[in-house]
Each structure stands twice: as C-alpha cells, then as structure tokens.
Amino acid sequence: MIIKRNPLTWLEKLYIPALISGFKVTLSHFFRKKVTMQYPEEKWSVPEGYRGAPYLVSDHQDRTKCVSCQLCEFVCPPKAIKITPPGPEVNEERAHMEKEPKEFEINMLRCIFCGYCQEVCPEEAIFLQKDYSLTGESREEMIYDKDKLLKLGGTHDSRVKKWDKKASDAAAQVSH
C-alpha cells in the first residue's frame, strides 16, 4: 500500500510556524521563576535540627568534651569512628583531663549521618551539624582527625563542665 503524503504549503516550507511555536516555548520558560540551583556556589539552607556530619565540640574553655569512653566507636554502625585513648603519661598542666582522647578520627566516607554517636555520648561531646556536602580529593582527606573535628564543631557551652577543677580540689591546693 502506498501512503500519499500531503505536500508542504509554502508557509511550511519557510519553517516559520515551527520557529514561532519553538520561540513560544522558550519565552514561556524565560519569564518563569528560576528553579535551578547554582550548586556548589548556592547551597540548600537546612532547617534547625538537621542531622549532617558529626563533629566534636569544645567546652567554654576550648577543651574537647570527649572522655574517650568509646561508646560512640562501639555503637557506630559502619565503624567510621576510631579513637585512640590517652596513654599512661600525665600532662601536669592538664592532669585533671586524663581521659582526653589522644586521637579521634571519623571516616566521613563511611559515616551515614545516623546520629547514634550523638545519642549515645554521655558528655555531649559530639553533635551532628548542618554540613551535608563533604568533598575531598583523596580518601585520606576524608578521614577527619581530632583537630579538624574540633575546629568544625565549635563551642558547645552546656552545663556539663567535666574538665573544670572541682571546688574541693582547688581548696585542697590552697591549703597545701
């Protein structure tokens, strides 16, 4: 069977109707509100309480609040946390901070932002913060060490003042 095709009209041969209908679609989008985000220059603003990357926080005197109890390391589902507790050596100036971790690492490539570490921490030393987009050029760069975690975590001045010398200790020192 031969299908007969209608010949193009002279207007259709000029392609003007096709061009006009194409421009109509372009113009209709031109005046619409932009929905494309210029990532990474622009980023989503996340609500309060958003659970992003976990960081260590410092107390009111810029000391890590962590006491190396390793609960977070134990509970972390993908085993992203690695804690090196302090050795037997004592820093005289900070003798009352004997449990401050020697090293504390979080492998951000493994972390799933579940929040278990924050929930289990007895010292309010680790919090999930608003960062959701972490980048690096190597795997090593994505393992955040203690200094980096503390810098990103900032200060969290809660009522837990674990490392403050107790009033009784201070009084004992005065009497000696």
Interface positions with ligand SF4 (CB under 6 A): 54, 66-72, 76-78, 80-81, 83, 106, 111-117, 120-121, 123, 125-126
**Minimum distance, C-beta of residue 176 to ligand SF4, in the bound complex (Å):** 31
The DSSP 8-state label assigned to residue 64 in this structure reads: B
To the nearest whole angstrom, how small is the minimum distance from the Cβ of residue 83 to ligand SF4?
Answer: 6
Which CB sits closer to ligand SF4, 12 or 103? 103
Reduced 3-state DSSP string for 72-124: HHHHCCCCCEEEECCCCCCCHHHHHHCCCCCEEEEECCCCCCCCHHHHHCCCC
C-alpha 108 chain-centroid distance: 9
Minimum CB distance to ligand SF4 smaller for 58 or for 68: 68
CA-wise closest residue to 150 among 99, 120, 113, 105? 105
When the beta carbons of 83 and 150 are compared against ligand SF4, the nearer one is 83
Residue whose CB is less far from ligand SF4, 8 or 109: 109
Of the two residues 37 and 155, which places its CB atom closer to ligand SF4 in the complex?
A: 155
- Asked if residues 56 and 121 have their Cβ atoms less than 8 Å apart, the reply is no
CB of 70 to ligand SF4, least distance (A): 5
How far apart CA 25 and CA 149 sit, in angstroms, is 50
Q: What is the nearest approach in angstroms of ligand SF4 to the Cβ of residue 101?
A: 7
Q: Minimum CB separation from ligand SF4 for residue 40, in Å?
A: 22
User: Which residues, 6 or more positions from 146, have their beta carbon under 8 angstroms from its beta carbon?
Assistant: 56, 64, 101, 103, 104, 105
